[in-house]
């Protein structure tokens, strides 16, 4: 019998990439999701079996895993309850790879990303897996992921690899950050405002890179925590330029020496201070090599975004983005007024060519 995997959250952005990567390596996959389909149709003969399941139903999960699996991949686990639920599967599972988040980290002053609205930890260099984390707390996103990690590392009777992903991107995202740049290019918007002079880095993680590391962990099980991020993470300014290149667009940039304001220079990737993860441990532990960098992932992502939004209001195509961004994301008239005034929130706007 071939290698078998159960993937929870299989129709989400990360789950699809994971299932596809495991299938290419010859694994038989039970693709588990709340909807089960038809959102994703797996190719006939791929060895994928679609399963409809509410993962909070403990008995149903036991039935799905009951025949056993070599690896269980959980793309949607959160909090101590899910940690205990997975640990209770016992010897039905050979090993597990569970998606966590880089947002668990806190700086040396105890500041994490969830601390306050707009909180931004201060790290002195690339963050390793040894960096302190926030306290476990099932009521916050970062705290809930820490609670999940703690339960699994302390009580799972099988090897668990925890993958602390950066800001996940790629085709299939429910809230694609790249749309901020893609829509502007499609609109042929001739100018772009960038807070913090576009110099910050918010470490991205391509879903395909995550899937590659999931496979590496499945092949070589062990108890470990690993960062997952793209190689050579780009600045916000470089991200915008890379999207423009894919779409054959050019924009004059205006740089803000500070945070800007909602809709005026604040992009989905803007951070007050850069956040970069150290990726060395994944290479040393598993021989992991990323399959793409940020720019290399963009043609596929951009093509998917353009096709998904074709003939539709973008707020209908990406409702989670619309709810998150509100009405200000593409207020071009407000941008034009700021450029005419030469400032945003009292901070000067500097044309990039006059730095």
Domain carrying residue 258: 172-202+231-274+295-355
pLDDT in tens, 137-167: 999 999 999 999 999 999 999 999 999 999 9
Q: What is the rounded average pLDDT of the residues 45-67?
A: 88
In a domain, 299, yes or no: yes
| Residue from 162, 151, 155 nearest 82 by CA | 151
In a domain, 223, yes or no: no
Share of the chain above pLDDT 90, in %: 83
In a domain, 21, yes or no: no
* Residue 310: both structure tokens together: 């074709």
Q: Higher-confidence residue: 117 or 203? A: 203
pLDDT at 38: 46
In a domain, 134, yes or no: no
pLDDT at 66: 85
Q: Are 23 and 47 in contact (CB under 8 A)?
A: yes
Q: What is the rounded average pLDDT of the residues 17-41?
A: 85
Average pLDDT of the chain to the nearest whole number: 93
- Asked if the model's pLDDT at residue 305 lies above 80, the reply is yes
In a domain, 100, yes or no: no
User: pTM value?
Assistant: 0.94
pLDDT at 116: 62
| Residue from 10, 15, 7, 322 nearest 165 by CA | 15
Q: Which of 44-53, 125-134, 141-150, 218-227 has the lowest mean pLDDT?
A: 44-53
CB count within 10 Å of CB 354 equals 7
In a domain, 313, yes or no: yes
pLDDT at 117: 61
Q: How many domains does the chain have?
A: 1
In a domain, 155, yes or no: no
Buried b (16+ CB within 10 A) or exposed e, 245-256: ebeebebebbbb
User: How many degrees, rounded to 5, is the angle at CA 146 between CA 104 and CA 109?
Assistant: 45
pLDDT in tens, 268-283: 999 888 999 999 999 9
In a domain, 242, yes or no: yes
Beta strands 93-101 and 252-256 are unpaired
CA atoms of 344 and 288, how far apart (whole Å): 44
- Residue 171: helix, strand or coil by DSSP? coil
- Asked if the model's pLDDT at residue 354 lies above 70, the reply is no
């Amino acid at each position: 019998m071939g290698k078998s995997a159960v993937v929870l959250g299989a129709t989400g952005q990360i789950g699809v990439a994971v299932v596809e990567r495991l299938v290419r390596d010859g694994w038989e996959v039970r693709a588990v999701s709340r909807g089960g389909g038809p959102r994703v149709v797996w190719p006939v003969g791929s060895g994928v079996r679609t399963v409809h399941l509410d993962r909070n139903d403990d008995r149903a999960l036991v039935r799905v895993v009951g025949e056993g699996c070599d690896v269980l991949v959980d793309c949607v686990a959160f909090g101590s309850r899910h940690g205990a639920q997975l640990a209770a599967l016992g010897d039905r599972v050979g090993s597990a790879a569970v998606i966590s988040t880089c947002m668990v980290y806190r700086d040396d002053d105890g500041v994490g990303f969830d601390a306050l609205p707009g909180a931004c930890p201060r790290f002195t260099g690339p963050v390793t897996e040894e960096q302190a984390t926030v306290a476990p707390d099932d009521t916050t996103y970062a705290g809930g992921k820490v609670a999940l990690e703690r339960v699994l590392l302390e009580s799972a009777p099988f090897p668990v690899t925890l993958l602390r992903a950066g800001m996940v991107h790629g085709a299939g995202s429910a809230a694609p950050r790249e749309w901020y740049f893609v829509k502007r290019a499609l609109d042929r918007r001739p100018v772009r405002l960038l807070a913090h002079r576009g110099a910050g880095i918010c470490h991205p993680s391509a879903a395909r890179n995550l899937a590659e590391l999931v496979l590496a962990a499945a092949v070589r099980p062990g108890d470990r925590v690993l960062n997952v991020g793209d190689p050579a993470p780009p600045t916000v300014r470089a991200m915008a330029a890379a999207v423009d290149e894919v779409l054959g667009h050019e924009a004059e940039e205006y740089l803000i020496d500070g945070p800007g304001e909602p809709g005026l220079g604040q992009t989905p990737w803007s951070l007050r201070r850069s956040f970069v993860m150290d990726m060395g441990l994944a290479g040393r532990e598993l021989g992991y090599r990323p399959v793409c960098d940020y720019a290399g992932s963009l043609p596929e992502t951009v093509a998917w975004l353009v096709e998904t939004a074709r003939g539709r209001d973008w707020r209908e195509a990406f409702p989670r983005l619309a709810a998150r961004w509100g009405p200000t994301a593409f207020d071009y008239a407000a941008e034009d007024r700021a450029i005419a005034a030469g400032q945003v929130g009292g901070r000067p706007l500097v044309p990039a060519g006059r730095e």
